[in-house]
Amino acid sequence: MKIIGLVGALVLVILAVVVAVDLASGPTPQRGQCLLRRQLLLPDRCVNSCASPFDCTVATRPYLVFWTQAATCLDGVICP
């Protein structure tokens, strides 16, 4: 039983590290730019350099069974 607990804990730690690396990696957009950030485990999303929350997603595609992820982003962004 101890082995199963240790393996389960190890899997959770590895999963947490992969998600943390997934969130930290990716391109940083310049002013007026919207980029598609591809991620390993989490859904792909569009990121921009605007200070306020702004979604520059143009099209989406299915992710797993019930969710969607970004497929394409705007070419240029005018921050509100």
The secondary structure of residue 79, as a DSSP letter, is: -
Compute how many other C-beta atoms are within 10 angstroms of the C-beta atom of residue 26: 15
Q: What is the mean pLDDT of residues 21-31?
A: 81
Q: What is the mean pLDDT of residues 49-68?
A: 88
pLDDT at 63 over 90: yes
Which H or E run contains 69? strand 67-73
Which H or E run contains 2? helix 2-24
Closest CA to 56 of 35, 30, 26: 35
Q: What is the structure's pLDDT at 12? A: 95
